[in-house]
Amino acid sequence: MRAQQLDSAALEELKDYEIRLSGLGENMVRNFDEITRITSGKNFIMQLSRALRVEGSFYYPFDSLKNVMKLSSPDGLFRILTWNVATNDEHFRYFGVIQMNPKKIEELNKVEPLYESFYPLIDRSDSIKSHLFVETGANQWYGANYYKIVKTTFNKRDYYTLLGWDGADSLVNRKIADVLQFKEGKPRFGAPIFDLKRKTVFYRMVFEFNNEATMALKYDEKRKFLIHENIVPDKPENSAFAERYFPDGSFDYLIWNKKGQWEKQPKMLEVFEK
């Protein structure tokens, strides 16, 4: 993103918004009072929505917002901003917005005016039933802080695989591989593209494990592998309790196949090590 593409009036207006957002961001993350954190979070959303309506705001980096994850899609079509607010019981509420590149959607909207400038994301993680096998919209988002976007294409449709982290609660962390696509100009999350060699194909991958553990979920740019560390219960009798799952040091490797899916590969450890 290049702020140089903004005119001076827009640049000054966005700088003012950034100062306000920076203060609210600190409050919503670091303040000891839960009500203050939540109130600051609500005000943060309102101020950010106003900022994103400023012409040219897509090119403004908001560098001082250290508590917000900011990612741009590899093709420059959009950027996605995600953040969270913690409650006193150590649950995390997630917030996000997809902002579209105005130059790209101007061209797309010449054909059919479907795209909007930005889309707020509403976290409904706790109420999405069968979340591993369902497609949702922006108002039913499986919330997370995203740290990587991988673009793939199949049958002229673009898929954006989103890798993210969710602090969940005091007992459990999550790593998430979701997928974003645009249908008739609207963002849709989840698609049957994760072939883990189970009975059915998954719409997203969600790994739940002990809050004190660290699990790897990443994309190897060189080899084009989607890689996740395997997690197992510490004892067989604890298989029903996510907080008793830990990484076991082994990995699964998925490649984008000719059917438009991330497909688990057998015996990839030997190939990878070579």
pLDDT at 274: 44
Residue 28 one-letter amino acid: M
Query: Strand, helix or coil at 192?
Result: coil
Please report which confidence band the pLDDT of residue 4 belongs to, taking 50, 70 and 90 as the band edges. Answer: low
Question: Exposed, middle or buried: residue 246 (CB in 10 Å: 0-12, 13-18, 19+)?
Answer: middle
102, 114, 134, 251, 262 from 225: Cα distances, Å:
31, 33, 24, 11, 9
Q: What is the pLDDT of residues 216-248, one digit of tens each?
A: 999 999 999 999 999 999 999 999 999 999 999
**pTM (two decimals):** 0.94
The answer on pLDDT for 268 being more than 70 is no
pLDDT of 3 reads 56
pLDDT at 273 over 60: no
Query: In this predicted structure, what is the pLDDT of residue 132?
Result: 97
162 in Cβ contact with 143 (< 8 Å): no
What local confidence, expressed as pLDDT, does residue 86 receive?
Answer: 87
The answer to whether 139 and 119 have CB atoms below 8 angstroms apart is: no
| Structural domain boundaries in the chain | 129-273
Question: How sure is the predictor about 155, in pLDDT bands with cuts at 50, 70 and 90?
Answer: very high
**Residue 234 to residue 93: CA distance in whole angstroms:** 29
Question: What residue type is 69 in one-letter code?
Answer: M
> Is the pLDDT reported for residue 270 higher than 60?
no
Tell me the CA distances in angstroms from 88 to 30, 33, 122, 144, one per residue in order: 12, 8, 21, 19
Return the SS3 of 18.
helix
CA–CA distance, 185 with 142 (Å, rounded to integer): 20
DSSP 177: E
For residue 226 the two structure tokens come to 């989607």
When the pLDDT of each residue in the chain is averaged and rounded to a whole number, the result is 93
C-alpha to C-alpha distance for 96 and 141, rounded to whole angstroms: 9
Contact yes or no for 78/72 (Cβ under 8 A): yes
| Residue ranges of E strands in 40-184 | 69-72, 78-86, 92-100, 118-122, 136-137, 145-154, 157-166, 172-183
How do residues 67-102 score in pLDDT, each as one tens digit? 999 999 999 999 999 999 988 888 888 999 999 999
Give the tokens for residue 125. 């993680």
- What percent of the chain stands above pLDDT 90? 86
Residues linked to residue 163 through DSSP beta bridges, in sequence order: 148, 177
3-state secondary structure of 13: helix
